Amino acid sequence: MKYGEKIIQESRLESWPNKNHKRDYLVEITLPEFTCLCPRSGYPDFAAIRIKYIPDKKIAELKSLKLYINKFRDVSISHEEVTNKILDDFVNLLRPKWIEVIGDFNPRGNVKAVITARHARKNFKFPVVPEKCMKKTR
């Protein structure tokens, strides 16, 4: 086994303490080179995985996330299942206030799938941001 394969196999998703946990803020992560295998055909599936979350007391450690995502490259798993698994793993590790995982899969056989899975704490209200703050300035 090559050293990179060993590191990926032995890795686990990790977290850091959130030193700003009293403030609601949005973390956005894009993983543009996601791969897994179709459970029916065995053909590779390619996707961009986008993760957005409002952390509480923990945030994701990004190197561990990179290794965690690479574990899926030889796993036979559907688009829906892998998107929900990533969401569940993040919820279990971080206990965020709110999280969304989007699996934006490349077309195969003229079919494109985008899977969106979300989780929010009970009674959590997403912070309202004034529209003028959302507009890009030039």
Active site residue 36: no
Active site residue 133: no
Record the tokens describing residue 114, joined without a space. 């985008």
pTM: 0.89
- Catalytic residue chosen out of the listed positions 24, 38, 56, 89: 38
Q: How many CA atoms lie within 13 A of 56 on its CB side?
A: 13
- Give the pLDDT confidence of 81-100 residue by residue, as tens digits: 999 999 999 999 999 999 99
d(CA 133, CA 88): 31
- Catalytic residue chosen out of the listed positions 45, 56, 88, 133: 45
d(CA 116, CA 114): 7
| Domain 3-128 class in CATH | alpha beta
Confidence of residue 130 (pLDDT cuts 50, 70, 90): low
Closest CA to 100 of 115, 88, 118, 85: 118
